[in-house]
């Protein structure tokens, strides 16, 4: 029998809490908070299945790593097999020592979260200030209006 979307939402919240993460509303589909769960130093994505195997997609891992870099957190990918209720953590080898340090002390070194990978150009050149978009419906409407004007199709006349 196929499981409902409600089951998966509730399961995700339960798993995130059991692993010490705060569940993210709407599974991170909002504008501000991303991925399935977060703690002070870690960000987590959960994939669960009833099957005996699961396919990990590189783009999912890349998205998790990007969101972790933006949020200054360590990425953790969790795979859950629902038939046995087992969870496995997938982390990069270079993150093992940082995560072990976090588990022992509750702290992670700040040099790990360099934003240089996200910025383009040299640090000597002046950077244009980034435009901030509010997380309210008003801010979203302003953003959509600006995009509509920017990409407005030019109407060609028949003459």
Output the pLDDT for position 122.
47
Contact 46, 36 (CB under 8 A): yes
- Angstrom distances, CA of residue 143 to CA of 18, 34, 135, 140: 38, 19, 11, 5
Annotated domain spans of the chain = 5-118+130-150
Cα distance between residue 21 and residue 42, in whole Å = 8
pLDDT at 120: 47
Task: Please name which of 94, 123, 124, 119 lies closest in space to residue 109, comparing C-alpha atoms.
Answer: 94
Q: Give residue 109's pLDDT.
A: 66
Q: Which residues of the chain have pLDDT under 50?
A: 115-116, 118-122
pLDDT at 113: 53
Pairing of strands 74-81, 22-23: unpaired
118-143 pLDDT per residue, tens: 444 445 556 677 666 557 788 788 88
Q: Does domain 5-118+130-150 have CATH number 3.40.1350?
A: yes
Residue 128 three-state SS? coil
Evaluate whether 63 touches 38 at the Cβ level (below 8 Å): no
Q: What is the pLDDT of residue 28?
A: 73
The verdict on pTM exceeding 0.85 is: no
């Amino acid at each position: 029998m196929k499981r409902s979307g409600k089951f998966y939402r509730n399961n995700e919240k339960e798993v995130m809490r059991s692993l010490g993460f705060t569940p993210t509303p709407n599974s991170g589909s909002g504008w501000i908070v991303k991925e399935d769960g977060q703690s002070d130093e870690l960000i987590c994505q959960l994939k669960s299945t009833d099957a005996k195997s699961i396919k990990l997609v590189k783009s999912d891992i890349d998205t998790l790593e990007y969101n972790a870099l933006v949020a200054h957190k360590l990425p953790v990918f969790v795979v859950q097999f629902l038939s046995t209720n087992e969870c496995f953590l997938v982390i990069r080898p270079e993150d093992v020592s940082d995560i072990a340090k976090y588990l022992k002390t509750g702290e992670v070194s700040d040099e790990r979260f360099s934003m240089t990978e996200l910025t383009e150009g040299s640090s000597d050149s002046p950077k244009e200030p980034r435009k901030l978009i509010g997380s309210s419906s008003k801010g979203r409407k302003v953003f959509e209006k600006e995009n509509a004007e920017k990409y407005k199709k030019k109407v060609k006349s028949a003459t």
